[in-house]
Amino acid sequence: MVINQQPDLVVCGEAEDVPRALETISAVEPDAAIVDLSLMGGSGLDLINDIKARWPNLPTLVLSLHEETLYAERCLRAGARGYIMKRASTAEVLAALRTVLSGGVHLSEKMASCARAWKATGRAPEQPGADSDQRPTA
């Protein structure tokens, strides 16, 4: 609803599962895909992999309830161009979408800081309260 209120954006399709999402993308040929990690009968991560394999130039933004420190890196490695939490403001979500549409990569300041630390040290920093065995790997 928020996207359709923008003068330069329109939602051209929706799907609740991976097969329907792939069918919809094929049929409507969107400029970008917004993916939730929690889909009926499948994984948004699987959908990202499928999108990347079939439409390598289609920018994908993940909009998720799942904690970004646990999933953003995995999604980016799978081919997503951005990751934003559903608790982000409407303005932040729209800015993230416009960033990926313009060819950029969107990361929250928190994740950008983590990425700089990973680059500097060569390893991911420990997350407070997170067991390293729980952190997904790509």
Instruction: Output the 3-class SS for the chain.
Output: CCHHHCCCCCCCCCCCCHHHHHHHHHHHCCCCEEECCEECCEEHHHHHHHHHHHCCCCCEEEEECCCHHHHHHHHHHHCCCEEEECCCCHHHHHHHHHHHHCCCCECCHHHHHHHHHHHHHCCCCCCCCCCHHHCCCC
Q: What pLDDT, on the 0 to 100 scale, is given for residue 29?
A: 96
pLDDT for 75 equals 92
Residues lower than pLDDT 70 in the chain: 115-119, 122-138
pTM over 0.75: yes
What pLDDT, on a 0 to 100 scale, did the predictor assign at position 131?
42
Domains in the chain, CATH or no CATH each: 3-123 (3.40.50.2300)
CB 65 within 8 A of CB 83: no
Q: Note the pLDDT of residue 41.
A: 79
CA–CA separation, 86 and 21 (whole Å): 20
